[in-house]
Every structure is written in C-alpha cells, then in structure tokens.
Amino acid sequence: MIVILSKGITGRDRALIRSWLEERSFTCREQTLGDDAVIGAAGKGTADIRELALLPGVERVAATSKPYELASRETKSADTIVSVSAAPSGPAVKIGGSRITIIAGPCAVESREQIFETAARVRESGAVLLRGGAYKPRTSPYAFQGLGMQGLELMKAAGEAEGMPIVTEVVSPELADAMKDLTDMFQIGARNMQNFELLKKAGALKKPVLLKRGPSATIEEWLLSAEYLLASGANGVVLCERGIRTFETYTRNTLDISAIPVVKRLSHLPVIVDPSHAVGIRAMVSSAGLAAVAAGADGLTVEVHPKPDTALSDGPQSLYPAQFERLMRDIEALAPVVGKELLRTPRPAVLPAAPSPAAGRRVPGGPDTPPSGAAEHPVAFAGESGAYAEQALMRAFGEDAPRRACPSFSAVFDSLLDGSSAFAVVPVENSLTGSIHENYDLFLRYPDIALAGEIKLRIVHCLIAREGASLDTIVEVRSHSQGFAQCGDFLKKHHWVLEPYYNTAAAVASLLGEEGADRTRAAAIAGEAAAKAYGLHILKEGIETNPLNYTRFVIAARKGENGEAPAPPSLGSVRANKASLIFSVSDEPGALFACLKILSGRGINLSKLESRPIQGRPWQYQFYVDLRLPETGEDFSRALAALRERTGDFRYLGAYRGAV
C-alpha cells in the first residue's frame, strides 16, 4: 500500500507512521511521488487501512490490487510527466502529457565527428534528446563494445553544443557512479531489465530512467522492474517498448503495439517506443514509429547515423538523416489527429542573425530572445478552464505553463498590450466553419501585436450535462456559436433550444448553477477536458458533423524592437516557415493579380487568400494572406518591399513556425 503524507508533516509523526507499519510486518520505503511525500509499505503484513488513515500526518492511504504499487494508476490517476534536463537550472525536456517527445542519435558513439554531426542533424529535424551508447552490451564478445567513458564525454559535449540532454545505457552498478555526472538520463537496456541490483543502484542515484522492456518480459514483469526504480528513488521512469521475441523471423523483433494502450491503462508512467530495435530494418522503422504514435505513445527513440552502411553497430536499422527528417514531418502531421503536439525546445543561441530589411523580420532559423520576464508572465486565452484554447496553450507551452483566462478575445489582446501576459493563444480558423473574423480584425486594431506561432488542434465535441440528465430530459443546449455550427447534423435530430455562450467551457461551467428540476434540463457542447474540469458527465462523444474537425490557433505576442514577435520558448530558434499579411488593393483590373505575381515570381507559395470588407468603407475589401516562406530571407524581404509599394493598408503580421 502507499501512504501519502500530509504537507508539513513533523518528523515525529513520520517516525510514528513507519513504526506502526513495521510493527505489522511491513517493509517501509520513503520517497517522493509527484508533489507528494509517500511511504511505500510492502510485504505480507496486514493492517486496517481505516486505522492507518487516522494517524497524524497521513493525508490518505492508497491500497492497490497490483504488485507494482508506485507505478500503478490506482495509486496515481493522473499521467506522470518526466522532466530531463542537462543542468538543474537548464530548460527541461518533458516526456508525457500532450506532447510527443523524440529521442534520436546513433546506436553507439564511434568518434567525435560522428556524434557531433549526428547531434546537429537530428536536432535540426526536431529531436530534443540525444541518444547513444558509450557502453554496449553485445551478443558477441568480438563485436564493438563502445568507447566507454571517452564516448560518454564526447556525447555530453555534443549534447551541450546542440542544447540537448543525453540518454545513454548503464550496464552495471559499478559504472553508474562514474556515469552519473555525465549523463542526464540513464537507460536500462532490454537485457538488464531484471538486473535488480542495477535497478536499485540507478534508482538510488535519483536521475530519470528510460526502462526498456525485456525481449521475453511480460507487461507485469516490466512494470515490476519500474517499481524497483521508483522504490529506490528514481526521479521519474519512462517505459520503452522495443519489441519482444516471437517465432517471427522477418523482423528483428515483434513490435507489441497493443502494449502501449494496455500499459497506459495500468500505469501512470509515460510510454515511448523504439521502432529501430523493434523491426531492425531501416525501411520499416518509420512505419513502425508512426504506428506507435497513432497507438498513443508519448514519444519515440530512433537510431540515426550519418553513414549507416559503415556504422560499427546496428547500421541496418539506423535511419539516414534525410529519412529521419521525413519521419519528423510525418509525426508533426499525425500528432493533431491523436490529440498531441510535437515537442520542440529552444536551441542554444549562436551568432546573432543579421537584421532583415523587411520590417526587421526574424530571419528564418535565427535565434530569438523572449521578452524580459516572459518566463514569469502567464499565457492568455479566452474562456474558462477546459476551453479548447487552453488545450492548445498546453500543447504549445506545456501542462505546467502559467496561464490567464480572459473573458473575451479583446481582453486577451489587452493583456498582451499591458504586459500582464507574455503570449496569447487565439483561434483564427476552423476546418468546417471557416475563419474566425473577430480575431483577424483584432490584429488590425492592435498593430503592436504580431504572430509568433501556430497550433492545429483536433476538435472533438461532446454533449455534457449534470448527473441524471439524458437525451430525453434535455430542453436547452449551450455552447459557442462555432460549436453549434460544427455539430449541426447532430442538433438537427433534436428540438432543443440553443443558447449561445462566448466560450464552450463557459457554457459547461454555467451548468453548475442549475438547481432542482433544472439540473437535468440543460446541457452544453464542449470538449472532454471541460467535462473533467467541472466534474460533469459526457452523454455523447464525437457529435461534430465531420470528424476532420480542426481549429487553427495562433500564438500572439507583443512586437519587439525588430518588428517581430518573439518566438515561444518551446520553439526557440526553430526555423520560421510561414508568414501572414493583410493588405488592400486599388479598384482596377489586375490589381490583385499583380500582387500575387510578386509572390509567385519569387517562388513564394500561398496557403490562404481570403477577402474581407473594410470596416467603415462600404464595398471596399482587404485580403488576408498566409504564405510559405522561401529558403532565403532575401527573397521574402524583396517581395515584402514590392508589395508595400503595390498595395494599400499593408499590415505585416509576422513570420512564425506554422503547423503542418
């Protein structure tokens, strides 16, 4: 059982609890689980849990039906997010939650040139953790065993150069102490999954651990190995499915895709997949990796080598850098479908990028500096807790990002202008109902606000109500007008009164104010997160007319001195690939065509062109334009300069990293 201790418990009460348990033949081990200090009580002892819960200093007692108590979801219902950082004060890479984390690198460190080149290539493609073996357990005693501590030092240096924490395999308890200051995350390999002395030693060093599943291990055995690590004090455990041994011989192992949802139901620990070892054939790695993401994996660890054909180990399963880049693009496209976002982290600053003549725009790929105090200020969104905008915010900035809920879109922009928010997340377009013109118009009203990024969120609408309500008791349904429009076919089947609200989550919150008979007469349309936020019930899920229902959110911020908004910390110096403009043209034949010719002549592709009436000027129109940036900033700068001369009311909204 797990005893969760009260905050501020005294040493005397802590000793009393341990003594009480030990008198009843339990073995006690203290550790921290999330934000809670806990005592794990194992053994064949017996105790009255009600009596234990009454002891001073006991917050609650969690008794599980599983032998892996600390790893069990019965003990902790919320998903654990594991942080890995290269330094205590450095930016952390987080594994778990709403984002997909990619670990990449060679099977083994072979030379300085090899590990530095690989680190640079995988970082450029979007990997955030560097993998590689310094000590390699090999089946043959004559195979390459790794460079040892020299290889680890090279890998650490490569990771620091690219701003990536490193993860490497520890193969014996004796080496763990020597490696602890050079690695940021220990990996326990498949062959060592049940090396219990190694598990205890690695856990005691209080670092995060990546635990691979053994080639013949059951899921319960795998989770019990995680229990060893947690019980020994590991600072977070990430489970890694890497294929199991079966009778099949066409692949190196058999990737157990079903293990991902099974483990996520049994345990709160994040689960990633190693498709390289699972299939062992380069041509199949990307397909297996995408399947893992679709099945709910929190990330992948992928072997990449600049010259796989000459690799000293696992060359046939290592991707070329170009193949890895394609895989990353595919993951970025797939992520919104499964309700996640690809995690990106800031790269270390290099030489300052030269300012561009085009309104001082950020040169694609150049370093960005967030505004002073950006880390302390919250991110603004319109609505209540559980709103879709809040979900997009967490995808972009992380689950623990400070945030400010605003009553309206204009209040969101005001918070950016007065400095009370560093960034904001606002919707601008839905794939079913089109543009959200109110927010486009706000960018015109607030010329000091610019675009800094983009998030694409899949929208799954639910019909939400109080306990006891049913489709037959409902008389009135509340939601945002966009929610009604996106669920039109479902609503046509019923004769409910529709009451618009400024936000879907606010509509859900309003249900809590209903009492008596009215409790079951009203329902709301919103997302699952809103139902959970207010403890309400989902009567029907997926009621949107078209399942291909996505909303495009933009990240906005106040412009810096160069006329650009700073990139969010989660994007850092990731290359901008998109820009947005607003302009009007004169009322003459070919005026718009001339503007488009300026762009096409420089190889700039449009992804959106929409006309809107100009407020206060009847029968005159302006155009909203989204475009893909060319490879060189010079072409874009010249195109902007030409457009400024050819158009009226020209407004440059910013360059940013666009969603796929």
Residue 350, pLDDT score: 46
Is 37 a residue whose pLDDT tops 80?
yes
Instruction: State the average pLDDT over residues 641-659.
Output: 87
Assess contact for 391 and 98: CB atoms under 8 A.
yes
What is the per-residue burial (b if ≥16 Cβ within 10 Å, else e) of 188-206?
Answer: bbbebbebeebbbbbbebe
Higher per-residue pLDDT: 356 or 419: 419
Residue 380 has pLDDT above 80, yes or no: yes
pLDDT per position as a tens digit, 283-314: 999 999 999 999 999 999 999 999 999 999 88
Are the beta carbons of 646 and 593 closer than 8 angstroms? no
Instruction: Report, as residue numbers or ranges, the catalytic residues.
Output: 551, 553
Residue 90 — pLDDT band, cuts 50, 70, 90?
A: low
Helices (H), 63-187: 112-125, 149-162, 173-179
For the ranges 253-267, 295-309, 366-380, 583-597, which has the lowest average pLDDT?
Answer: 366-380
Judged against a pLDDT cut of 70, whether residue 407 lies above it is answered with yes
- pLDDT, tens only, 628-637: 988 777 888 8
Q: Rounded mean pLDDT of 236-242? A: 97
pLDDT at residue number 368:
35
106 vs 142, residue with greater confidence: 106
Mean pLDDT along residues 462-469: 94
Mean pLDDT of the chain: 88
Closest CA to 229 of 207, 200, 206: 200
For residues 636-640, give the mean pLDDT: 89
For residue 252, the model assigns a pLDDT of: 93
Q: What is the CATH number of domain 462-541?
A: 3.40.190.10
Q: What is the pLDDT of residue 351?
A: 35
For residues 62 and 1, the answer to whether their CB atoms sit within 8 Å is yes
pLDDT at 471 over 90: yes
Average pLDDT for residues 229-245, to the nearest whole number?
93
CATH superfamily of 95-342: Aldolase class I (3.20.20.70)
Task: Out of 76-80, 208-212, 351-355, 646-650, pick the least confident.
Answer: 351-355
Q: What percent of the chain has pLDDT over 90?
A: 59
Q: Check pLDDT > 70 for residue 376.
A: no
Could you identify the residue written with the tokens 């979801």?
A: 73
- Quote the pLDDT of residue 34: 63
Q: Which residue has the higher pLDDT, 277 or 563?
A: 277
Report pLDDT for 358.
33
Q: Dihedral, CA atoms, 383, 389, 390, 396, nearest 10 degrees?
A: -150
Mean pLDDT, range 589-596, rounded to an integer: 90
How does pLDDT run across 510-531, given as a tens digit for each residue? 999 888 777 899 999 999 999 9
CATH no. for 2-62: 3.30.70.1140
- Which tens digits make up the pLDDT trace of 133-151? 999 877 778 778 789 999 9
pLDDT band at 420 (very low <50, low <70, confident <90, very high): very high
Q: Which residues contact 332 (CB under 8 A, 6 or more apart)?
A: 126, 342, 659, 660
Contacts of 215 (CB under 8 A, 6+ apart): 190, 191, 243, 244, 245, 253
Which position has the higher pLDDT, 554 or 357? 554
575-660 shares the fold of 462-541: no
pLDDT tens-digit map of 171-225:
999 999 999 999 999 999 999 999 999 999 999 999 999 999 999 999 999 999 9
Host H or E run for residue 634: helix 633-646
Query: What is the Cα 30 distance to its own chain's centre?
Result: 31
How far is Cα 432 from Cα 549, in angstroms, rounded to an integer?
6
Ordered by start, the domain boundaries in the chain are: 2-62, 95-342, 462-541, 575-660
Percent of the chain at pLDDT above 70?
A: 93
Over residues 556-581, the pLDDT tens digits come to 999 887 778 887 876 655 678 899 99
Q: Over 60: is that where the pLDDT of 459 sits?
A: yes
Query: Pick the residue with more confidence: 185 or 375?
Result: 185
Q: Is the pLDDT of residue 355 over 70?
A: no
* Helix residue spans in 460-535 (DSSP H): 481-486, 488-492, 504-510, 528-534
| Fold of domain 575-660 | Alpha-Beta Plaits (3.30.70)
Residue pair 80/236 in contact (Cβ under 8 Å)? The answer is yes
Relative orientation angle of helices 259-266 and 219-231, to the nearest 10 degrees: 50
